[in-house]
């Protein structure tokens, strides 16, 4: 199961070569999170609780009659991965998380006063979260989203500190060394029983996903050890 980040959609996994590489050995299940891509886009923040995001993942697995899967989530998708560990651990064989941790992330506070009706305010808040400017060539792609739905989706980011000690599945945690989340990801590896940390030199929050050439070798090696 491949779960994209905030403002993105399942096409990102195709665009950056993840599906091409992983589908050689695995069935790849791609999902558009609620508020994103081709999924429903309610404008009420109550529709975007972590339980609902997790419920959507479980519903997809149920529809495919898959009891357990590897879950690979990037950024928001990684946060949902920690949610899977909390609310549906029996559905996860191994957890791969890139650019996310279970602790409170103050950067999401930038969206507290944003409702999606002002595109400039939305972009500014997004830049606070990813800690870099949205490139001009990507701005139209971001603005093509339903910004009111995305603003609603950004309102709840509860800390999940307590889930760490309950996580018994194998975990691969990836993070760019230039991502401000790096220290927090490092810290959580000390509290998860079967966690492996991969620090990606010189990569920031965005490039730690887009540079799939640097990410995929760690992912495929980790998965291979589970099936050896």
Tens digit of pLDDT for each residue in 120-159?
Answer: 999 999 998 888 888 787 888 889 999 999 999 999 888 9
Whether the Cβ atoms of residue 147 and residue 140 lie closer than 8 Å to each other: no
Positive/negative CA dihedral, 33, 7, 82, 211: positive
CB atoms within 10 A of CB 67: 10
- Yes or no: say if 99 and 181 are a contact pair by the CB < 8 Å rule: yes
Q: What's the pLDDT at 169?
A: 98
pLDDT for the residue numbered 131: 81
pTM of the model: 0.95
Q: Calculate the CA dihedral of residues 144, 149, 154, 160 and round it to 10 degrees.
A: -120
Task: Report the pLDDT value the prediction gives residue 137, as an integer from 0 to 100.
Answer: 77
From the candidate CATH numbers 3.30.470.20, 3.60.70.12, 3.40.50.1820, 1.10.3720.10, the one assigned to the domain spanning 2-104+159-226: 3.40.50.1820
Q: Are 42 and 152 in contact (CB under 8 A)?
A: yes
Main-chain dihedrals φ then ψ at residue 6, nearest 5 degrees: -65, 140
Q: Cα(174)–Cα(172) distance, rounded to whole angstroms?
A: 6
User: Which residues of the chain fall below pLDDT 50?
Assistant: none
pLDDT attached to residue 136: 83
Percent pLDDT > 90 in the chain is 86
Q: What are the tens digits of pLDDT across the range 114-126? A: 899 999 999 999 9
What is the reported pLDDT for 112? 84
Residue ranges covered by each domain of the chain: 2-104+159-226
């Amino acid at each position: 199961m491949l779960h994209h980040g905030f403002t993105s959609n399942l096409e990102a996994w195709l665009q950056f070569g993840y599906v091409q590489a992983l589908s050689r050995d695995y069935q790849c299940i791609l999902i558009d999170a609620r508020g994103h891509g081709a999924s429903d886009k309610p404008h009420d923040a109550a529709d975007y609780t972590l339980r609902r995001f997790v419920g959507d993942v479980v519903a997809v697995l149920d529809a495919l009659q898959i009891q357990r899967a590897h879950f690979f989530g990037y950024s928001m998708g990684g946060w949902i991965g920690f949610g899977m560990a909390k609310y549906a651990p029996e559905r996860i064989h191994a957890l791969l998380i890139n650019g996310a941790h279970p602790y409170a992330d103050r950067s999401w506070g930038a969206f507290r006063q944003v409702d999606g009706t002002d595109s400039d305010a939305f972009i500014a808040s997004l830049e606070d979260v990813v800690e870099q400017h949205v490139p001009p060539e990507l701005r139209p792609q971001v603005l093509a989203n339903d910004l009111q739905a995305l603003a609603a989706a950004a309102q709840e980011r509860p800390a999940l500190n307590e889930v760490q000690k309950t996580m018994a599945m194998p975990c691969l945690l990836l993070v760019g060394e230039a991502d401000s989340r790096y220290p927090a990801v490092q810290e959580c590896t000390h509290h998860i029983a079967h966690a492996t940390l991969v620090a990606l030199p010189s990569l920031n929050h965005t490039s730690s996903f887009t540079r799939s050439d640097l990410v995929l070798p760690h992912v495929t090696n980790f998965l291979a050890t589970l099936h050896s």
